[in-house]
C-alpha cells in the first residue's frame, strides 16, 4: 500500500487537501521511514487521525476562505478611510497625509486579494454593507453619526480597526502554511497593517505599541472596543511568564513592558464576532 498514492488520488477529488493536510504529509513520511512492523501497524491509526483532523468539524479554514476573510476586513477598512479622506475639510492637514496613504494602501490590498482569489479559481466575496454607527445595520448604534462628523471619534475607530487587522492577519498565518506564496503575501500585508496601527496610534498621542494592564488589553480608553483587545493583557509566552524576566537595566519587567513586547493573534471567529453584526451586515 502506497500512502502517498492514496493521498494523490484524494487530491484529485478534493483540491483543497493539500491546504488541509500540510504539514501532516511530513509526519507520514517520518512514520514510514522507521521500517518496523510496529510502525507499519500504526499507519492506519495515524492516517485516520490525520484525516479526521483534516476533515473534522473544527477543520482549519482553507486558503480561499482565509483570503475572502481578509478581503472582508480590507473592504471595511477601505470604505472607512475612503469616507474619511474624501469628505472635504473633515480630516485636518496634520492627519490628512497619513490617512490618505492608508486609504490608498487598503485599496491596493482589496485589489490584490481579489486578483489572488480569482487566480486560485475562487470567487471573491461581495462587498458587504457597513454601519459605522456600530449598530449592525440599524444606523443607530452607540457611535451614531460621529465617526464622520467628529474627528477624534474617527481617529479612535481607526486605531481599533488597525490593531484588530494586525491581530487578524497574525491569527491566520498557521492556516496558510500549505501555500508559501500566499503566506508570504499575507505576511507582507500584515507588516503594512502594523505600520498603519503604529501611525494612527501616534496621531492620537498614545503609544505606537499596545500597552496593557493586568486586567485589560485595551489601552485606547474607548470601552466600546474592549473586545478587540481581549487577550493583549497576556504576559505568558509559551512556557515563560515574561514578567519574571529581567528588563533593561536589570529591573523587573512590568506588565506594561511585557504586554508591549509581544502581540497576540485573534482567531477568525473572534474577529468576525467583533466586526460582523457591529460594523458589517448583510
The per-residue pLDDT for range 139-156, each reduced to its tens digit, is 999 999 999 999 999 999
Same-domain status, 146 and 194: yes
Nearest 5°: phi and psi at 246? Answer: -75, 140
- Residue 222: predicted pLDDT: 85
Task: Label residue 249 by pLDDT band (50, 70, 90).
Answer: confident
Average pLDDT of the segment spanning 25-31: 47
Determine which of 8-17, 37-46, 61-70, 234-243 has the lowest per-residue pLDDT on average: 37-46
- Residue 18: predicted pLDDT: 58
Same-domain status, 48 and 68: no
pLDDT at 7 > cutoff 70? no
- Residue 9: predicted pLDDT: 52
Same-domain status, 231 and 250: yes
Average pLDDT, whole number, for the chain?
A: 85
Count of the separate structural domains present in the chain: 3
Same-domain status, 169 and 78: yes
Same-domain status, 201 and 124: yes
> Domain range spanning residue 7?
3-55
- Residue 8: predicted pLDDT: 56
Q: 152-180: per-residue pLDDT in tens?
A: 999 999 999 999 999 999 999 999 999 99
Check the CA dihedral 208-89-131-193 and report its sign: negative
Single out the residue in 36, 55, 74 at which a domain terminates: 55
Same-domain status, 252 and 269: no
Q: 55 vs 118, which has greater pLDDT?
A: 118
Q: 36-57: per-residue pLDDT in tens?
A: 444 444 445 444 544 444 444 4
Task: Label residue 88 by pLDDT band (50, 70, 90).
Answer: very high
Which of 187, 280, 167, 176 is CA-nearest to residue 227? Answer: 167
Same-domain status, 173 and 90: yes
Same-domain status, 87 and 194: yes
Q: How far apart are CA 85 and CA 67, in angstroms?
A: 26
Same-domain status, 102 and 143: yes
Cell numbers 498565518 correspond to what residue?
A: 173
Amino acid at each position: 500500500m502506497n500512502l502517498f498514492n492514496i493521498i494523490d488520488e484524494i487530491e484529485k477529488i478534493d483540491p483543497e487537501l493539500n491546504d488541509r493536510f500540510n504539514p501532516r504529509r511530513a509526519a507520514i513520511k517520518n512514520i514510514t521511514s522507521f521500517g518496523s512492523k510496529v510502525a507499519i501497524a500504526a499507519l492506519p491509526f495515524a492516517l485516520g487521525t490525520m484525516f479526521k483532523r483534516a476533515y473534522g468539524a473544527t477543520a482549519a479554514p482553507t486558503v480561499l476562505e482565509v483570503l475572502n476573510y481578509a478581503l472582508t476586513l480590507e473592504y471595511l477598512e477601505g470604505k472607512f478611510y475612503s469616507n474619511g479622506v474624501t469628505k472635504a475639510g473633515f480630516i485636518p492637514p496634520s492627519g490628512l497625509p497619513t490617512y490618505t496613504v492608508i486609504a490608498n494602501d487598503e485599496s491596493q490590498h482589496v485589489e490584490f486579494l481579489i486578483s489572488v482569489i480569482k487566480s486560485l479559481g475562487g470567487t471573491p466575496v461581495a462587498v458587504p454593507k457597513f454601519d459605522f454607527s456600530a449598530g449592525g445595520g440599524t444606523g443607530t448604534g452607540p457611535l451614531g453619526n460621529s465617526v464622520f462628523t467628529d474627528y477624534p471619534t474617527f481617529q479612535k475607530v481607526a486605531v481599533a480597526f488597525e490593531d484588530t487587522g494586525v491581530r487578524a492577519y497574525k491569527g491566520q498565518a498557521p492556516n496558510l502554511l500549505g501555500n508559501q506564496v500566499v503566506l508570504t503575501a499575507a505576511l507582507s500585508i500584515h507588516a503594512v497593517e502594523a505600520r498603519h496601527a503604529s501611525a494612527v496610534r501616534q496621531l492620537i498621542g498614545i503609544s505606537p505599541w499596545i500597552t496593557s494592564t493586568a486586567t485589560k488589553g485595551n489601552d485606547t480608553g474607548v470601552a466600546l472596543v474592549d473586545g478587540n483587545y481581549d487577550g493583549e493583557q497576556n504576559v505568558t509566552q509559551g512556557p515563560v511568564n515574561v514578567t519574571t524576566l529581567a528588563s533593561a537595566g536589570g529591573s523587573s519587567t512590568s506588565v506594561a513592558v511585557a504586554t508591549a513586547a509581544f502581540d497576540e493573534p485573534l482567531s477568525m471567529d473572534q474577529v468576525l464576532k467583533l466586526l460582523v453584526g457591529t460594523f458589517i451586515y448583510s
